[in-house]
Amino acid sequence: MHGVTEEVTLHGNLHALLLAFGTAGIDVGASGRIVRQDGALPEMTIGLRTILFTDFSSIANSRIYPNASIIASWEIQKAWLVYAGTHATVQLSDARVFVSPMIGTQVPASERIFVQAEFIWQAANVVTTSGLFRGESSIGGQGSIGMFVGVGLKL
């Protein structure tokens, strides 16, 4: 992440675990603060990013997904955040939109390193009662739930 101004941050992520399975996942984007936290009133942030996945074998095996988000966050202590929000991801191949609400926390591990944990209901607007996984991790036959843990380094 790199703060361009007080309100705008550029960010990028490498999905490292995917590399272990032969797929590269990266995303790049920008976020902008639209409301600053004021006591119980959360900070509100909107974001746009592009997500790319590839297995390096061909362009046909690569996918690009535009993504937009809105997040409410509260700084509980210095650099200790809790947040909730949603993002919408577009699958360009068939013009589908997947809406994924989430909640999470970000806690400092040191001056430059933070740990983030997030619970997400991926594609909550999609019926998953049939298919390969038949809603095994869905809520009411919709979407898929997931828990993600990440580590960030402040440059």
Which CATH number is 13's domain given?
A: 2.40.160
In the predicted model, is pLDDT for residue 133 greater than 60?
no
Q: Could you tell me if residue 137 is left (phi over 0), alpha (psi between -120 and 50 degrees) or otherwise beta?
A: alpha
- Per residue in 71-81, pLDDT (tens digit) is 999 999 988 99
In the predicted model, is pLDDT for residue 112 greater than 60?
yes
The pair of three-digit structure tokens given for residue 80, joined into one six-digit string: 């200790």
The pair of three-digit structure tokens given for residue 33, joined into one six-digit string: 């603060």
Helix (H) or strand (E) holding 53: strand 43-54
In the predicted model, is pLDDT for residue 2 greater than 90?
no
The pLDDT of residue 131: 64
pTM of the model: 0.82
Helix (H) or strand (E) holding 110: none
How confident is the model over 73-99, as a mean pLDDT? 94
Provide, rounded to the nearest whole percent, the portion of the chain with pLDDT above 90: 64
Residues of the domain holding 138: 2-153
Count of beta carbons in the 10 Å neighbourhood of residue 150: 15
Average pLDDT of the residues of the chain = 91
- Per residue in 40-50, pLDDT (tens digit) is 999 999 999 99
Q: How far is CA 63 from CA 12, 16, 23, 66, 93, in A?
A: 17, 17, 11, 10, 9
In the predicted model, is pLDDT for residue 146 greater than 60?
yes
Structural domain count, the chain? 1
- Per residue in 60-73, pLDDT (tens digit) is 889 999 999 999 99
In the predicted model, is pLDDT for residue 154 greater than 80?
no
